[in-house]
């Protein structure tokens, strides 16, 4: 009887722990003082606009080339996982439209939000309402930052976006925002989405130049 009550208590503690962790992530000091990503003001000393634009994109590249983003922007139709970007386990093919193969859509495992795995707060299944693999023309893995830069500016390869729409996507899109709220057991992308959006805006305002 006593042991049973204890077990139930432990369960409750584990559960509230998981909730505290996921809500704590959004409000963590990290979001106020974004670590690991320089603000736009750090680049004002670069007088030449093209050089400044390139430097701004290199900084934004710390996010773009982070595994949280790259894992969903592979060059074949297989998502990758973790910091080492290993092939998705269980083996997964994204299908033509990126939502999974018939009978096994991404959303059968990935839900609208991150879900603690087995009720603990150590691991989680990542989630977002739009969870799907990026289309093949938006593949980033195996490409240089300069190549990624050229392709995200190109409406033929970025889903028909103008630069303003591209900025909006980077700064506001909920699925992009998942990169800073990746769930227990995953390192967030550097900085926060606000600072990342500001870097992209400043990059566009200085001519959207690509690094070599
Ligand atoms: C769960 C998978 C997933 C993750 C994680 C993800 N993306 Fe994407 N991304 C997509 C899909 C699907 C699309 C295409 C649909 C759309 O535009 O929303 C896309 C499109 C984009 C585009 C539009 C055009 C282009 O040229 O690629 C940008 C920019 C982008 N993602 C940036 C990011 C950034 C930055 C991150 C990390 C902070 C990220 N994505 C993380 C799946 C993902
Ligand atoms: C059978 C269940 C299942 C299906 C279907 C599935 N996934 Fe996953 N996926 C998982 C689990 C579980 C994890 C977490 C693994 C971990 O972090 O250890 C995961 C992790 C990921 C990650 C890694 C995130 C990161 O940054 O580490 C990506 C990306 C991903 N899945 C994309 C997809 C896409 C895209 C689809 C559909 C084409 C898909 N998954 C279908 C179970 C599934």
Question: Pick from 47, 34, 52: which is nearest to 203 by CA?
Answer: 52
Question: Pick from 179, 202, 198: which is nearest to 190 by CA?
Answer: 179
131-187 pLDDT per residue, tens:
999 999 999 999 999 999 999 999 999 999 999 999 999 999 999 999 999 999 999
Query: Residue of the nearest CA to atom 37 in ligand 1?
Result: 69
Within 10 A of 84 (CB to CB), how many other CB atoms are there?
7
Question: Pick from 158, 195, 182, 153: which is nearest to 59 by CA?
Answer: 195
| C-alpha of residue 14 to centroid of ligand 1, in Å | 33
The whole-number pLDDT of residue 19 equals: 37
Angstrom distance (rounded) from CA 124 to CA 131: 15
Query: Residue of the nearest CA to atom 43 in ligand 2?
Result: 109
Q: C-alpha 181: how far from its chain's center?
A: 8
| C-alpha of residue 26 to centroid of ligand 2, in Å | 22
Q: Ligand 2 pocket test: which of 87, 88, 94, 96 has the largest number of ligand atoms within 8 Å of its C-beta?
A: 88
Angstrom distance (rounded) from CA 29 to CA 16: 20
| C-alpha of residue 211 to centroid of ligand 1, in Å | 20
35-71 pLDDT per residue, tens:
899 999 999 999 999 999 999 999 999 999 999 999 9
Dihedral over Cα of 29, 67, 42, 167: its sign: negative
Q: Is 81 in the pocket of ligand 2 (CB under 6 A)?
A: yes
Ligand 2 atom, smallest distance to 94 CA: 38
Residue 30 has pLDDT above 80, yes or no: no
CB-based contact 183:125 (threshold 8 Å) = yes
């Amino acid at each position: 009887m006593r042991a049973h009550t204890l077990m139930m208590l432990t369960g409750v503690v584990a559960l509230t722990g998981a909730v505290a962790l996921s809500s704590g992530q959004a409000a963590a000091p990290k979001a106020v003082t974004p670590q690991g990503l320089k603000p736009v003001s750090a680049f004002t000393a670069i007088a030449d606009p093209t050089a400044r634009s390139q430097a701004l994109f290199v900084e934004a590249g710390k996010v773009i080339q982070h595994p949280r983003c790259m894992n969903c922007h592979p060059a074949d139709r297989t998502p990758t996982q973790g910091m080492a970007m290993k092939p998705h386990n269980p083996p997964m093919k994204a299908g033509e439209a990126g939502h999974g193969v018939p009978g096994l859509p991404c959303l059968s495992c990935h839900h609208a939000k991150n879900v603690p795995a087995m009720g603990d707060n150590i691991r989680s299944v990542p989630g977002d309402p739009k969870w799907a693999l990026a289309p093949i023309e938006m593949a980033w893995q195996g490409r240089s930052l300069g190549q990624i830069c050229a392709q995200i500016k190109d409406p033929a390869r970025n889903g028909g976006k103008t630069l303003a729409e591209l900025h909006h996507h980077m700064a506001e899109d909920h699925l992009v925002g998942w990169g800073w709220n990746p769930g227990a057991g995953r390192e967030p992308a550097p900085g926060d989405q606000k600072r990342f959006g500001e870097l992209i805006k400043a990059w566009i305002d200085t001519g959207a130049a690509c690094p070599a």
